[in-house]
Amino acid sequence: MSLPVPALRFDVDAVVLDIEGTTSATGFVVDVLYPYSRARFAALLCERSGDPEVARAVAQVRELTGDPHADPAAVVKTLNAWLDDDRKATPLKTLQGLIWSEGFARGDLVSHFYDDVVPALRSWHATGLRLYVYSSGSVAAQRAWFSSTPEGDLLPLVSGLHDTENAGPKQEPESYRRIAESAGLPPGRLLFLSDRPGELDAARAAGWHTVGIRRPGEPFHQQGVGDHAEAGTFDEISISTTGSST
Ligand SMILES: CSCCC(=O)C(=O)COP(=O)(O)O
Ligand SMILES: [Mg+2]
């Protein structure tokens, strides 16, 4: 009996991965990580207000809310409201990243990956394909996420981490151009995997290949991924790398 042949085939040099809804369950992020950060915002702002990253994020919250004098309690209230809406605001993600990376380092947290993801990442990496992450979660959060997985440290598989701070918003083509430039690759040599059609549209507008990942139970599963190629799991995607860009 022969194995099923993946329907989607690409020749690229790099795959760029979204996390929530793509490599990993939104439910895990919302049910495990969000409460963990919610319980610690007040202490972080109170005890580490002098930390430059905390101070910068607080200043960004004040700017975004148009309230330059918001006190720590008001800032925490805003952060919690953004959490309730799963709003991907950069200062929220910065502060969550600080809290989560300490939680992962302490062993309180272990990340989640769908079953098909880690074998695919290992096998793609083994063929010479470069793997990058582009997530609304901060670079600090991504580093902790890939370091502390149920299958050990996966960070050595990853060539670079991108977030809304170093690349820009995920729904803007310019962000994808920035990532391609930092990887030193032409846009046609990059493949982006994401669950969100707006992100896939932006990547395609920048000249990238795209596959929408539609997993049952994920928030974007019903809506679909527009006219992008789609896969239910990473097993359905076959990637070769001829290195033709070098
Ligand atoms: C390790 S990142 C935690 C998840 C998160 O906070 C997030 O916003 C993920 O968004 P994505 O862009 O990966 O869908
Ligand atoms: Mg996502």
Give yes or no for a contact between 128 and 243, defined as CB atoms under 8 angstroms apart. yes
Residue ending a domain, among 106, 136, 155, is 106
Distance 146 CA to ligand 2 centre (A): 16
Distance 78 CA to ligand 2 centre (A): 22
- The whole-number average pLDDT for the span 97-118 is 97
Distance 30 CA to ligand 1 centre (A): 10
What tokens does 192 get? 């982006």
> For 222-231, how does the pLDDT look when each residue is reduced to its tens digit (9 = 90+)?
999 999 999 9
The CA distance from 224 to 230, in Å, is 9
Q: Which residues sit opposite 160 in a β-bridge?
A: 132
- Which of 38, 95, 136, 199 has most ligand 1 atoms within 8 Å of CB, for mutation? 136
Residue 190 belongs to some domain of the structure = yes
Instruction: Kindly report the protein residue whose alpha carbon is nearest to atom 10 of ligand 1.
Output: 136
Same domain, 64 and 147: no
pLDDT of residue 7: 78
| SS3 assignment for 36-63 | HHHCCHHHHHHHCCCCHHHHHHHHHHHH
The question of ipTM being above 0.90 is answered as yes
The CA distance from 156 to 211, in Å, is 24
Residue 246 belongs to some domain of the structure = no
Helix, strand and coil percent figures for the chain, each rounded to 5: 45, 15, 40
What is the percentage of the chain residues whose pLDDT exceeds 70? 96
Q: Which atom of ligand 1 is nearest to the CA of 137?
A: 2
Residue range of the domain that includes 138: 8-24+111-240
Residue 15 has pLDDT above 80, yes or no: yes
Residue 245 has pLDDT above 80, yes or no: no
Is the pTM value of this prediction over 0.90?
yes
